[in-house]
Amino acid sequence: MKILHIIYGLILTSLIYGTAYAQSLESTVFMTEVVPPYNYLKNGTIQGAGIEILMQALEAVNIKINASKIKLYPRARTYKILSSQPNTCSLTIQTPKTKNKFKWAGPITDYTCSFIARKDAKINSLADIKKNRVGVVRKTILQNKLVSLHYNAHPASTIEELIKKIEYGRTDIIFSNSHVAFEKMRTLGIDTNKYKIIHTLNIGELYFAFNSETDNTTVNKLQEGIDKIRSNGKLAKILKNHQLKH
């Protein structure tokens, strides 16, 4: 009888902790910003490669959330919440500066940024880039990168403003992730065939970042899901479908 009580106690404990373990990731506040094709709004719902990867990774560890519960915030607000509130998570670029600031699940894919100019502009080399105005979204790691490389940075408040600056001749080059830039051009009705990529830099890798006080079991559970969809090919398929990998 004593043995039966022990077994019963072990089973009960397992059920309690197992539920808490699953619920810890289910209760995580997932956040994003509009950065197509990674995340974007369509017919009032959040879609994109980042959302699909998250949902597939969660499903791989038997956790389901409604995509409508993912919070859509501006970049600055997302970063502030991620830095201050436990059990929050967002898809972002891991850099040397942020590596020890958050906990990470990933990587998802490389994140590159390109110098983009009009095809009719006589800009074809890094030396040419140095001589011209380079537009970039303000207060981002991309602006920091330009400053560190001593380029003539001309900040814009948003990616939309940045695209309009080059379209209307208010800057000579833009520095952006090419997928993000060309997708935004298409949504604005701008012909992407007028533009060319001059040079591309590797900025870092995309991860799901968690607030540093988030429980390790929560982070590890999402990591397990990411590893599973990497192994079964679902991660690569999502990236390919969104033309983020060839």
Report pLDDT digits (tens) over 184-225.
999 999 999 999 999 999 999 999 999 999 999 999 999 999
> Is the predicted pLDDT of residue 17 greater than 70, yes or no?
no
User: What pLDDT, on a 0 to 100 scale, did the predictor assign at position 246?
Assistant: 52
> Is the predicted pLDDT of residue 14 greater than 60, yes or no?
no
* DSSP conformational letter for 204: E
Sole residue written with tokens 């942020």: 98
> Is the predicted pLDDT of residue 35 greater than 80, yes or no?
yes
User: What pLDDT, on a 0 to 100 scale, did the predictor assign at position 11?
Assistant: 37
User: What pLDDT, on a 0 to 100 scale, did the predictor assign at position 67?
Assistant: 85
Burial of 90 per CB tally in 10 Å (0-12, 13-18, 19+): buried
Select the highest-mean-pLDDT range: 16-20, 225-229, 240-244.
225-229
The alpha helices in 131-177, defined as continuous H runs, are 141-148, 159-167
- Report the C-alpha gap between 210 and 226 in whole angstroms: 14
Query: What does each C-alpha distance from 33 to 20, 78, 82, 159, 228 come to in angstroms?
Result: 29, 8, 13, 12, 26
**Amino acid identity for residue 108 in this structure:** I
Average pLDDT, the chain: 89
**Residue count (the chain):** 246
Range of lowest pLDDT (33-47, 77-91, 105-119, 165-179): 33-47
pLDDT (average), residues 73-97 = 93
Query: 5 falls in which pLDDT band (50, 70, 90)?
Result: very low
What domains appear along the chain, each with residue ranges and CATH number?
A: 28-105+206-241 (3.40.190.10), 111-203 (3.40.190.10)
User: What pLDDT, on a 0 to 100 scale, did the predictor assign at position 86?
Assistant: 92
Strand order in the sheet with 195-211: 71-72, 29-32, 88-94, 195-211, 102-118, 173-176, 133-137, 152-156
152: alpha, beta or left? (left if phi > 0; alpha if psi -120 to 50): beta
Q: Percent of the chain having pLDDT more than 70?
A: 90
> Is the predicted pLDDT of residue 172 greater than 80, yes or no?
yes
3-state secondary structure of 172: coil
pLDDT (average), residues 36-62 = 92
3-state secondary structure of 10: helix
User: What pLDDT, on a 0 to 100 scale, did the predictor assign at position 215?
Assistant: 93
3-state secondary structure of 83: helix
- Report the C-alpha gap between 220 and 25 in whole angstroms: 10
What is the reported pTM? 0.83
Report pLDDT digits (tens) over 87-119.
999 999 998 889 999 999 999 999 999 999 999
pLDDT (average), residues 55-64 = 96
